[in-house]
Structure 1
Amino acid sequence: MRNSRGERVFYTLNTVILSLFALSCILPMVHLLALSFSNQDAIVSGLVSLWPVGFTAVAYDKLVNGTQIVKALGNSIEITLVGTFLNLLFTLLCAYPLSRGYMYGRRFFTLAIVFTMLFSGGLIPGYLLVKSLGLINTYGALWLPGLVSVYNMLVMRTFFMGIPEELVEAARIDGCGEWRLLFRVFLPLSLPVIVALGLFYGVGHWNSFFNVLMFINSPEKFNLAVLVQQMIQSQSLLQEIGTMSPEDFASITPESIKSAGVVVMIVPMLILYPFLQRYFIKGILIGAIKG
């Protein structure tokens, strides 16, 4: 069936508008990448746009050898992997019982959890709570307060509620208890939702900035987000890099090193996302419409 003229115009406008939005997101990253690989003269002269001018990788060399970028990268990976695992585990353990109709007080607990989406204790009480638990300057302060996202839990709960009861009854006839039912039946079926929610949690931990500044005191425990922010705000970045020689000062600029730091921060997520995209889209759609 052929599209009408109005539909063709609508689809064309949609394509143009979405393409412009996509370019507005992609072009700044391409520009940063070009800056990080360009020499000093080209950057100072404003000749760099979307392609490196005077290609050089000295900014990355000084970034790796003269800053704490490698340590911060390791910290970000640790925060993201452990935090995402804990988030998914406890979201799973919270969503499963709330999806079962025979759980006593299910409605009360669901409403109590949803209530926290609207009201929270506030910044200062939250800090005092973390301090009283002895979590200041530990990564536990980043993981425990946001252990379960209410929105993500509701998405997973909705998916669990859409699993046919016949499948659950067949598993019980085969002798499955609650734990085996959860990890042998529900968990394999919920892979798309788990990957989608894991991506949400992972990006949140990877970009964690305010919580790190608030709860982490030791610079050696900072993640990439905080380190790159400090580099961007630094007024004497080149003087702070310990491996700089007089020749280096003449060959690179603070802008090239800052751009290299931003590139190092965003590239891991850009590499990971294409492999998870199909699970991401499928998981969000299933979790949103089932039940």
Structure 2
Amino acid sequence: MSSQSDKHRVFAALHRRPGAFVIPNPWDAGSARILAGLGFEALATTSAGYAFSLGTLDSAASLTREGVIANARAIVEATDLPVSADLEDGFGRDPETCAETIALAAAAGLVGGSIEDATGDPASPIFDLSLAVERVAAAAEAARRHPFLLTARAENFLNGRPDLDDTIRRLQAFEAAGADVLYAPGLPDLAAIRAVCAAVSRPVNVVMGLAGAAFTVDDLAQAGVKRISVGGSFARAALGGFLRAAREVKDHGSFTYAAEAASGAELRAFMRREPR
């Protein structure tokens, strides 16, 4: 099995390689093994997918730091791929807590993770810029003590604040504070994505799988994107199949869904794969 340092080197190299790469988001060890078996080169956890598996909401109020990191550790141990984690808001307002979260994530074998500037408070959904920068700076300092790439997220567009100028200003400040990767989920179009990529010099992550976004990997690479994640959309796609099957049985008393289900043999082949 590759060491954490080896995984970090592989992960960092992906961010330097020409073009864009896709980092899909498993929600447990089994989905991680399937994605690794399909040939993806790195993985990222999804707080949404993990929350669905627990039957709870995707929020820092509903998910504990211990649970999120335990889920991430299970994904790390399921394959030999580099894994980055969705670490919510760092599980605390103060910069020291963000730094502690990064240290705990690295101790779990992760080689990357994201800290967002969303507060979880509908009345004041985004941290003031000065505090947001202090949080990223503390997380970046902690990340430098480990084989770990820090992603800083500007959450305006997911929180009813579609302000591209402020989003770019935040990402530039996060870059100056030491973030390795920059990420503004929910950007509305390729023009906005191009503007973000042109405004910073660090790799940019874009999430796909949201409603209405139909860009290809080539489209995003040409816009300057380096890394493409899918957030909770693979988990939602899997649950969509589950819902269709369950509704067919409940509403129609038929079982035709089985024709499109993965076979037991195919899934067993993925689950037999051991990390190198």
TM-score under structure 1 length normalisation: 0.22
When you count helix as a share of all residues, which structure comes out higher? 1
Between structure 1 and structure 2, the one with the greater Rg is 1
When you count strand as a share of all residues, which structure comes out higher? 2
TM-score under structure 2 length normalisation: 0.23
